[in-house]
Structure 1
Amino acid sequence: MIVVTGATGGLGGATVEHLLNRVPADRIGVSVRDTAKAQHLADRGVRVRQGSYEDPAALRDSFAGAEQVLVVSGNDPAADMVGLHRNAVEAAVAAGARRILYTSQQAAVPGNPYGPSEFHIATEAILRDSGTDWTALRNGAYGPLDQVLGPWQRTGVIAQPEDGPIPFTDRDEIAEATAVILAGDRSFDGPVTLTAPTAVTFDDFAKIVSDLTGRTIKRIVVDDEQWVAEQIAVGVPEQMARLLLTWYQAARAGYFAEADPLLAELLGREPRSAADRLAAHIGQ
């Protein structure tokens, strides 16, 4: 059995949908905080059990019988994510899982200034010491591009801090590739990176959206402290704004610059580029 955590969330839910296209429903289990929100999966034959990273006993029950467990990483900056992920790993080991897969982050390496890198690095170390086969899926940035670029359609400018090349990746394609790995016969040991085929900058984005819309969209580099102040002014807590700033700092230092071919290999096709995604979004 394959057990997926976070199956009512975006990435976990999409992964389960892709798994259902590849394996019988009775070979899939999900561990979710609120089983009512997973009723649509239970109705299709998926085993639904309650479990949360804060409750090791419930986790062990929700992982029972699993050959593989997909641990979808949490992202609450106020929580002890390393401790919570440790609970999940230990519960999977206790349940007898032969392999644990974990949704990590591209460039989860020492020195990366992006804040969440620290708990991904620590969780990968826990997996390494677990005694169980493991795979860390170091996923490229897959957030919605309209959030990344800001209100450029209204303002005519992409006004963000100094950046660097990033292979912005489609979340659904990461989910599909994750399902391919879970359902397939090929093992991936340790960290693997899943990204779009090309890394782009905000300068590239400005040209892309200018070409797509026939408007001249400018790229404006905003000073770091000015950007933080602007975020606070629109209601973002300062701690969160400064955490988000570390993503730009990591990008400008080149930590996210390298695109990886594995995603294309797993999908059997070229993944969607940032330009493809923007064209589809603008055309809606």
Structure 2
Amino acid sequence: MIIVTGATGALNGATVDHLLEHVAPADVAVVTRDVAKAERFSRRGVEVRQGDYADPGGLPEAYAGADQLLLVSSNDPAGDHVALHRNAIEAAVTAGVGRILYTSHQGAAPDNPFHPGTTHYATEQLLAGSGVAWTSLRNGFYAHSLQWMAGPWRKTGVITVPGDGPVSWTAREDAAEAVAVILLSDGAHDGPTTLTAPTAPTFAELAVTASEIAGRTITCEVVDEESWRQAQAAAGAPEGMTAFLLGFYRAAREGFFAGTDPLLGDLLGREPRTARDALAAT
């Protein structure tokens, strides 16, 4: 049986949809904090179980019978993400799960200025020490984030960023589909597994693409961090979010998101979506 956590979210929910194109509903179960939100799966015959990383006592039962367990990374704004992931991994060990798959991120490293990168790295160390077979799905930076990262360029004519560097903008939809293929491969992918778009454009290069889309010149302006902070504050952005995003731009500048890998296209059997597609949708 394949058990999927976080299936009420966009990423793992889409993965379950792809799985159900190939396996019977009885071969899949989903685990969610709020079972009412997973009604669309129960209507299709998928077993819905309650489970919360913050309540580890009930997790072994939620994961029982899993040949493969897909763990989504926590997005709890107030939680200690590494501790929450530890709860989930320890419960998987207790439940006798055959393989743990974890939605990590490209740039998982202890020195990544983008905080989730350090969380993913720490979680991968927990997986490596668990004694259970594991796959870390190092997805490229999700391309739909460009609607925030590139700013209101259609209105202003400028992509203004506090740091520039190559990023392998990867469609979340493609990553979800590829993860389903990996789950169906029965352990063919072990350890860190990178899933990215085939190119990693800089924001300056994205400005050229945006110009083609808009039919007018869009420029890229790299400003100092303090000026960008002040502009974000003037626009009403929360200070915590501004600091979080600054970590991304620093990481991009330092090359943490520069790598590309052909595996995603190989798994999909087609060319992945591009950053151009994401810009055109903003």
**Could you tell me the TM-score, scaled by structure 2's length?**
0.96
State the AA in 2 paired with 1:243.
Answer: F
Count of equivalent residues: 281
Distance 2:143 2:89 in 1: 26
SS at match of 1:215: coil
Structure 2 partner of 1:257: 258
Does residue 149 in structure 1 map to residue 150 in structure 2?
A: yes
SS in 1 for 2:194: strand
Instruction: State whether structure 2 residue 275 is matched by structure 1 residue 278.
Output: no
Deviation of 1:143 after TM superposition, in Å, equals 4.6
The CA RMSD measured in Å over matched residues stands at 1.4
- The one-letter amino acid paired with 1:6 is G
The runs of 5 or more residues in structure 1 that have no matched partner are: none
- % identical aligned pairs: 57
Letter of the structure 2 residue corresponding to residue 35 of structure 1 = V
Query: Is the CA contact (8 Å cut-off) linking 2:143 and 2:275 kept in structure 1?
Result: no
Q: What letter corresponds to residue 44 of structure 2 in structure 1?
A: R
Query: Residues of 1 paired with 2:143 and 2:213: CA distance?
Result: 21
Other-structure match for 1:212: 213
Tell me what 2:105 maps to: 105
Compute the displacement of 1:77 (Å). Answer: 4.8
Q: Secondary structure at the match of 1:116?
A: helix
Q: Given residue 127 of structure 2, which amino acid in structure 1 is its aligned partner? A: L
**Kept after mapping to 2: 8 A contact 1:31/1:59:** no
Q: Which amino acid aligns with 1:32?
A: T
What residue in structure 2 maps to residue 183 of structure 1?
184
Alignment partner of 1:245 is 2:243: no
Q: Give the corresponding residue for 2:230.
A: 229
Decide whether the 8 Å contact of 2:150 with 2:161 is kept in 1.
Answer: yes
* 1:186 CA displacement: 4.7
Match of 1:87 in 2: 87
Checking the alignment, whether the CA contact within 8 Å between 1:114 and 1:243 is kept in structure 2 is yes
Q: Deviations over 1:102-141 (max 9, x none)?
A: 0111021232211111211111111001000000011111
Counterpart Cα distance in 2 of 1:20 and 1:262: 22
Note the alpha carbon deviations across 1:190-248, whole angstroms, 9 max, x for none: 10111001001111111101112211111111211121222233333323311210110
Secondary structure in structure 2 of the residue aligned to 1:101: strand
User: What is the alpha-carbon distance in structure 2 between the residues aligned to residue 162 and residue 36 of structure 1?
Assistant: 42
The TM-score, its normalising length taken from structure 1, stands at: 0.95
Contact persistence 1:165–1:201 (CA under 8 A): yes
Return the alpha-carbon distance in structure 1 between the equivalents of residues 173 and 221 of structure 2.
Answer: 30
